[in-house]
A = this chain, B = another copy of it.
Amino acid sequence: MEELKKYVSMKDEDHFYHQGAVELLIFNFLLILTILTIWLFKNHRFRFLHETGGAMLYGLVMGLIIRYVTKSPDVESGTVYECEKLKSGPSTLLINITNQVYEYQYKREISHHNVNSHQGNAMLQKMTFDPSIFFNILLPPIIFHAGYSLKKRHFFRNLGSILTYAFLGTAISCIVTGLIMYGFVKAMVHIGQLKQWEFHFTDCLFFGSLMSATDPVTVLAIFHELNVDTDLYTLLFGESVLNDAVAIVLTHSISIYSPKENPNAFDAAAFFQSVGNFLGIFAGSFAMGSSYAVVTALISFMHLTKFTKLCEFPMLETGLFFLLSWSAFLSAEAAGLTGIVAVLFCGVTQAHYTYNNLSPDSKMRTKQLFEFMNFLAENVIFCYMGLALFTFQNHIFNPLFIFGALVAVFVARASNIYPLSFLLNLGRKQKIPRNFQHMMMFSGLRGAIAFALAIRDTASQPRQLMFSTALLLVFFTVWVLGGGTTPMLTWLQIRVGVDPDEDLKAKAASQSASNLDKNTTKAESAWLFRIWYGFDHKYLKPLLTHTGPPLTSTLPEWCSPVARLLTSPSAYGDQLKDGDTVYIIDNDELTENYESSAHIPVPAQDSTGSIQATGKEDIQEGDLGLGGYKLQLQHTAGQPQKNSLA
């Protein structure tokens, strides 16, 4: 007994000292390998394998090694124990084993089917981390970064199309995938491959919604590196960012959709409830995300007497910015909304308002911090996806289902892009050409979001089947479609090496040549957003940032006491440079815009190394060049540039 106790205590000690270190080390090792590989590839200008593809490949190999090299150490883990006294699974279980109480924590519910020989491999289990880590820690920085680095100018020029693709397109994609999968499932039941489970239409729709989240990170990185046409880039980037949000909320709504009686019959009440859920969750998450950003903007803008402004303390400012943005995500999740949507719009709003209030030091810090976190999180996720193919213990691979999914995903993408592009071209002045449509069709890669949605619930067999299938589709699309991007660009004769500003200038020139178009252009650019911009420029920007005209001049006469209270002293002096900013955003008369901004010393875009560095590194430049310009003004105005050389 004494012997045993010592043994147990020694084992525990050992357990404590190395717990988690080996698993983290494996991830670190994979990431280091990935970074070295990217470096090698960048040197050879090798674009067939993106860093995420590489990360996935290394993960795959490591998973294979872990699976077949490590042995299952404890035999007892594989067996199922009966417990008559319990009625349901409590979150914590205390078990008395030979007079020693052990505490066990609830992990998940598994079906009898899954209790196979690999269940007991401790190493495999340790490598399979909690899906909540994905959702709470790895995804938020990626999505936030997407929102924060959105090229606002181009984004808003294409807003109508982006929204159409993202909302309508994703819904179409979800339904088409669901229908095709339902056909395949019926066929599988017919030939006797699926008889033992129930696979409802809602399950098919669920699969459809999770497979509708596209993630063309590889394609976008290549586009960025090659300076592909900005409109195509923006359409694809905008679509993929918003589409993730839509797909997540859709998945959530479908999983809530539970018709009362026959699960296969259509229940109108439940359907409308789901639609209501979708709208409510989306709107709620949007509101949550942007209000956190507004709070951040207000705090960083705060200008109390006797109070040093927060921007005097860059570390506190960066910390607050980071924590409030993350809180937007977490609050939305905690409130039953969708954190991803919240953090996305939080990112957009932060870039729009808070960014202007930050100290030059914090601007750089936040930008670099989020870039870095995005880079790490993305590679960790792709590594993990590679690992999961061999370390996940309950895969169900069904060739027919996989084939069906492959077909469904492509048909769904086609019925999203082509019909919608046709409809959009009816209204668009600047048509989406045929080769852009093909490229968008081709760029329907699946990635982190589809995987994360699939891994969230792998308790039942249908869900396991979906997870395994989704994983394979991610591999296929990232490697095959991702690798084929450069050849595809050449084949479709899409022009590369376009300077975004040159692009604007050229378009402006062509537009000013045919002066008749001007009015059409104006009408075309969404009127709703012109109103919004007017409001934003006149009231929100002055209220939340240092830019924009002073509120005293925009608010009506009778509001002037309030206005004077709310206007920061610096706003009065900022008229000129703000004029330029707003001009660019607010006007579609591009010639004038270009000419009026031509004298601004726009910082030279460094096209040597750093653009290639991460692929996504300076997505912001196009838009934040303006920020850079303002910053320069401030410097020449005498404010010392702190820490930038220290």
| Chain A residues close to B by CB (< 8 Å) | 6, 8-9, 12-13, 16-22, 24-25, 28-29, 31-32, 35-36, 38-39, 42-43, 74, 76-83, 85-98, 100-112, 114-115, 119-120, 122, 125, 130-133, 135-136, 252, 255-256, 258, 299, 306-308, 310, 312-316, 318-320, 322-324, 326-327, 330-331, 333-334, 336, 339, 360-361, 364-365, 367-369, 371-372, 375-376, 456-457, 459-460, 603, 606, 608-610, 612-614, 617-618, 620-621, 624-625, 628, 631-632, 640, 642-646
Question: A-B pairs with the 7 shortest C-beta distances?
Answer: A312-B609, A21-B333, A104-B104, A89-B102, A313-B613, A76-B90, A25-B330
Q: Is the CB of B101 within 8 A of A315?
A: no
Q: Is the CB of B16 within 8 A of A456?
A: yes
A361 to B96, CA, bound (A): 57
5 contacts between A and B (CB under 8 A): A20-B132, A31-B323, A36-B320, A89-B97, A603-B645
User: In the complex, what's the smallest C-beta–C-beta distance from A235 to chain B, in angstroms?
Assistant: 25
State whether A28 and B326 are in contact (beta carbons under 8 Å apart), knowing that A22-B334, A315-B614 are contacts in the complex: yes
Q: Closest chain B residue to A326 by CB distance? A: B28
Q: Is the CB of A95 within 8 A of B81?
A: yes
User: In the complex, what's the smallest C-beta–C-beta distance from A538 to chain B, in angstroms?
Assistant: 29
Q: Is the CB of A132 within 8 A of B16?
A: yes
Q: Is the CB of A319 within 8 A of B372?
A: yes
Q: Is the CB of B613 within 8 A of A631?
A: no
CB contacts (< 8 Å) of A98 on chain B: these are 87-88
User: In the complex, what's the smallest C-beta–C-beta distance from A248 to chain B, in angstroms?
Assistant: 11
User: Looking at the complex, which one of B74, B319, B334 makes contact with A25 (CB distance below 8 Å)?
Assistant: B334
CB contacts (< 8 Å) of A457 on chain B: these are 12-13, 16
**Which interface residue of A36, A132, A608, A624 has the most chain B CB atoms within 10 A?**
A132
User: Looking at the complex, which one of B12, B86, B316 makes contact with A614 (CB distance below 8 Å)?
Assistant: B316
**Which interface residue of A17, A80, A85 has the most chain B CB atoms within 10 A?**
A17
User: In the complex, what's the smallest C-beta–C-beta distance from A1 to chain B, in angstroms?
Assistant: 13
State whether A92 and B315 are in contact (beta carbons under 8 Å apart), knowing that A25-B334, A104-B104 are contacts in the complex: no
User: Looking at the complex, which one of B102, B308, B330, B646 makes contact with A43 (CB distance below 8 Å)?
Assistant: B308
State whether A306 and B43 are in contact (beta carbons under 8 Å apart), knowing that A312-B613, A313-B610 are contacts in the complex: yes
User: In the complex, what's the smallest C-beta–C-beta distance from A73 to chain B, in angstroms?
Assistant: 8
* Complex copy number for this chain: 2
User: Looking at the complex, which one of B29, B136, B330, B625 makes contact with A327 (CB distance below 8 Å)?
Assistant: B29
Q: Closest chain B residue to A359 by CB distance? A: B609
Q: Is the CB of A97 within 8 A of B88?
A: yes
Q: Closest chain B residue to A90 by CB distance? A: B76
Q: Closest chain B residue to A19 by CB distance? A: B132
Q: Is the CB of B109 within 8 A of A92?
A: no
Q: Is the CB of A87 within 8 A of B92?
A: no
Q: Is the CB of A624 within 8 A of B646?
A: yes
A116 to B598, CA, bound (A): 74
Given contacts A19-B130, A77-B94, A89-B95, 16 further A-B contacts (CB under 8 A): A6-B258, A16-B457, A17-B252, A21-B339, A32-B320, A77-B93, A91-B122, A101-B111, A102-B108, A103-B106, A312-B609, A313-B613, A360-B645, A606-B643, A618-B646, A628-B645
State whether A315 and B372 are in contact (beta carbons under 8 Å apart), knowing that A16-B456, A110-B101 are contacts in the complex: yes
User: In the complex, what's the smallest C-beta–C-beta distance from A191 to chain B, in angstroms?
Assistant: 27
A632 to B371, CA, bound (A): 26
Q: Is the CB of B308 within 8 A of A42?
A: yes
A17 to B248, CA, bound (A): 11
Q: Closest chain B residue to A40 by CB distance? A: B307
A608 to B640, CA, bound (A): 10
Q: Closest chain B residue to A100 by CB distance? A: B109
CB contacts (< 8 Å) of A310 on chain B: these are 39
A609 to B28, CA, bound (A): 36
A80 to B83, CA, bound (A): 12
CB contacts (< 8 Å) of A97 on chain B: these are 83, 86-89
State whether A35 and B319 are in contact (beta carbons under 8 Å apart), knowing that A98-B88, A103-B110, A313-B612 are contacts in the complex: yes
User: In the complex, what's the smallest C-beta–C-beta distance from A324 to chain B, in angstroms?
Assistant: 7
CB contacts (< 8 Å) of A360 on chain B: these are 645
Q: Closest chain B residue to A313 by CB distance? A: B613
Q: Is the CB of A35 within 8 A of B320?
A: yes
State whether A28 and B76 are in contact (beta carbons under 8 Å apart), knowing that A6-B258, A107-B104, A131-B16 are contacts in the complex: no
